[in-house]
Amino acid sequence: MYVYRGVIGDVARRAVQPEFVDACRARFRVLHGTAPGEEEAGSWQRSWPVLLDALVRAGLEDLDVLLELSLPGTGERVDAAVVGQDADGVLTVVVVELKQWTRAARSPRDSGMLEVGQRTVPHPARQVGGYVHYLRDWADGGRGVRVNGTVLLHNAPIDLITFLRDMAPPGEPSAEFPLLGRDDLAPGVPAGELARSLGCVGLAPAPTDAVDRFLSAEHRPSESVLERVAAAIENRRRFFLIGEQDRARLAILDAVREVSLDRPAAGRSRPAGLVVVTGGPGTGKTVIAARVMGDLCRMPGRNPRLLTPSGTLTRQLQRLLSEDARGLVATFKNKTPAGLDRNSVVLLDEAHRAATYPHQRGAGFPILLRNLLDRVGVLVLFLDERQIVRPTEGLTLDELERHAHESRATLRRVNLETQFRCNGSQAYHHWIDLLFSPADAPQPWNAASYDLALAPDPDALASWTDGHTAQGRSARITAGFCWPWNTGDVPPLAPEVAIRWHGPDHDERTWARPWNLRSDQPVPGFPDIPARPYWATDRGGHDQVGCIYTAQGLEYAFGAVILGADLVRRDGHWQAHPEASHDARQLRTLPPEQYLRYALNTYRVLATRATHGTRLYSTDPETQAYLASLLPGS
352-384 per-position pLDDT tens digit: 999 888 777 766 788 889 889 888 989 999 999
Confidence of residue 271 (pLDDT cuts 50, 70, 90): low
What type of residue sits at position 608?
Answer: T
3-state secondary structure of 613: strand
| Residues counted in the chain | 634
Strand-by-strand arrangement of the 345-348 sheet = 329-331, 305-308, 345-348, 378-383, 273-278, 411-415
Question: What is the maximum alpha-carbon separation in the chain?
Answer: 86
Nearest of 67, 85, 66, 68 to residue 210 by alpha carbon: 85
Nearest to 413 by CA among 574, 243, 276: 276
What is the Cα–Cα distance from 138 to 327, expressed in whole angstroms? 9
Burial label for 139, CB within 10 Å (0-12, 13-18, 19+), is buried
> Are β-strands 610-618 and 556-563 bridged in parallel, bridged antiparallel, or unpaired?
parallel
Measured between alpha carbons, how far is 596 from 588 in angstroms, rounded to an integer?
11
Give pLDDT, residue 54: 96
What is the domain partition of the chain in residue ranges?
Answer: 2-216, 223-415, 422-628
What is the H or E stretch that residue 508 is in? strand 508-513
Provide mean pLDDT across the span 216-241. 84
The model's pTM is 0.83
Q: How far apart are CA 634 and CA 597, in angstroms?
A: 29
Which pLDDT value is given to residue 265? 47
Higher pLDDT, 449 or 128: 128
Residues 19-31 as b/e (b if ≥16 CB within 10 A, e otherwise) read ebbeebeebbeee
Check whether the bond before 178 is cis (ω within 30° of 0). Answer: no
Question: What superfamily in CATH does domain 223-415 come from?
Answer: P-loop containing nucleotide triphosphate hydrolases (3.40.50.300)
Of residues 210, 184, 206, the one with CA closest to residue 197: 184
Q: How far is CA 580 from CA 392, 547, 564, 567, 575, in A?
A: 20, 15, 8, 9, 12
What pLDDT, on the 0 to 100 scale, is given for residue 469? 96
How far is Cα 58 from Cα 151, in angstroms, rounded to an integer?
A: 16
DSSP 139: B
pLDDT at 440: 85
Strand partners, 355: 393
Measure the CA–CA gap between 173 and 314, rounded to whole angstroms: 24
The answer to whether the beta carbons of residues 506 and 516 sit under 8 Å apart is no
Q: State the average pLDDT for the chain.
A: 90
Alpha-carbon Rg for the chain, nearest whole angstrom, is: 27
Give the model confidence (pLDDT) of 51-96 as tens digits: 999 999 999 999 999 999 998 777 789 999 999 999 999 999 999 9
Count the Cβ atoms, other than its own, within 10 Å of residue 375.
17
Instruction: Compute the distance between CA of residue 603 and CA of residue 610 in angstroms, rounded to an integer.
Output: 13
Distance CA 365, CA 395 (A): 9
Q: How confident is the model at residue 254 (pLDDT cuts 50, 70, 90)?
A: confident
Identify the pLDDT of residue 410: 85
pLDDT 10s digits, 139-194: 765 667 899 999 999 999 999 999 999 988 776 767 789 999 999 999 999 999 99
- Average of per-residue pLDDT across 579-583: 94
| Terminal CA-CA length for the chain | 58
